Amino acid sequence: MADKVYMVPNPPTPNVPVHFDAAVCNGCNACVEVCRTDVLMPNPTRREPPVVLYPDECWFCGCCVEDCPRPGAIRLTHPLNQSVVVAWKRKATGEHFRLGMKDPPPANTRPPAD
């Protein structure tokens, strides 16, 4: 056993940046080759999706998704703290607003609370 090296995924990490659709992915490992931070490693089983070995190291650059020859095989999921909020709701009236809407509400002119 002393002459073998093992790579083991980091299971306690809640972040899973890259999701593979096993029905679409053919295991070509193009995403592994293009990954800038070596988050992905080839699966030891042929024709299987790569292993997300170091999910916390992902930069969310999207190179793996762009260079994949099979559309839909890889999906990149940004963490909630990096997601852009595109809608909000006024508590008093329940009125919904969206970024870029035709008639946005007037700007808030109230001073901040002390």
Query: So what's the pLDDT on residue 105?
Result: 72
Neighbours of 78 (CB within 10 A): 13
Q: Which CATH architecture has domain 18-78?
A: 2-Layer Sandwich (3.30)
Secondary structure E strands in the chain: 18-20, 40-41, 51-52, 74-76, 87-89, 96-98
Calculate the CA 32 to chain-centre distance.
16
Residues 80-106: pLDDT tens digits? Answer: 666 665 677 778 888 877 767 777 777
Query: So what's the pLDDT on residue 48?
Result: 93
Q: Domain spans of the chain? A: 18-78
Question: Quick one: what percent of the chain has pLDDT higher than 90?
Answer: 34
Residues 37-60: pLDDT tens digits? Answer: 989 999 989 999 999 888 888 888
Query: So what's the pLDDT on residue 106?
Result: 75
Instruction: Mean pLDDT check: name the lowest of 36-45, 60-69, 71-80, 101-110.
Output: 101-110
Query: So what's the pLDDT on residue 56?
Result: 83
Whole-number Å distance between alpha carbons of 39 and 50: 10
Confidence of residue 22 (pLDDT cuts 50, 70, 90): very high
Query: So what's the pLDDT on residue 84?
Result: 63
| Matching residue, tokens 């999910």 | 55
